[in-house]
Structure 1
Amino acid sequence: MKSAFIILLAALPFAAAAQTTQAELLRRGELTGTRPSARSQARQTAPRPANTASDPVQQHLLQTDVNLAQASADQLPSLYERFIATTRDERRQWTYPQWDAAGQVLARLNQRYEQVRTTLPLEERLRVRSFQGEFHTLRGARQVKDKLD
């Protein structure tokens, strides 16, 4: 019991370094569900490249060929579910560039979610938020594990 406490205590600096601030997540487009600031609304009015389904990483992670810019609100919870299922299955073999690519796919999912979230029932919004949180937890756990190794 005492040795487990010592290990946890030793891991605290690494866990703190792995934490990402809410502002940083908002800047990267990985945290949604909050009210958009004036700055983020200004970014939304700027022209964006279309979220085409030609991205092979996106196709693999979502297990389907879908244009996220045109995905309906009722499609999003199942897309998030497929995304997190693939992440759970493959995370142990992923390198940092693969985690970054998955983070970019999540950011695209989150962009569409932000546009249509008000049309989803509360239960579905909670499911989506839990999937978003799980991804960041898995990513952070991987970073801590690599620091400890």
Structure 2
Amino acid sequence: MLENIQKLIIDKLSEEALVSVEETGLQPALIVNKNYLEAIAFLLRDTEGFYFDFLSNITAVDYYPENRFTLVYHIASIPYQTQIVLKVHLEHERDADQLPELPSVAAVWRTADWHEREAFDLMGIFFTGHPDMRRILLPDDWDGFPLRKDYQESEMYHGIAIK
């Protein structure tokens, strides 16, 4: 099935859409070009015979001290009982004022709305085109992104001890 998905993406979009393929591990993964992420998501959801209609999870991985993050998308086709993983690698400086950006897939899978907000809130990944890109777990004025490996915990928040 992985070969069929690769062929579909290359035939319908471009060879540039795929960066590489990971065939080891628990599930095969396609490393995709971030500029094609939304188009790939629509293609995999809307193509008969694939119909990846369910986004079960989005995970963000921090490779500190490198200036690198990976977003991992677990998608499934409920009717065809198949699963695949899409990954997007992001190279980005660790500047809190200039967050790494990735296109939103909330228009493809509605569950992405919440998953992307969580990745934004806790890892500082900004999703362009997201319908409501704001924090979901922490207060709007929280400083930093707690799941980043270089996060420095504050001792106080509005006069309240945190630790």
Using the size of structure 1 for normalisation, the TM-score is: 0.29
Between the two structures, name the one with larger relative contact order (CA 8 Å, sep ≥ 6). 1
* Structure with more strand by fraction: 2
Q: Which one has the bigger helix percentage? A: 1
Q: TM-score, normalized by length of structure 2?
A: 0.27
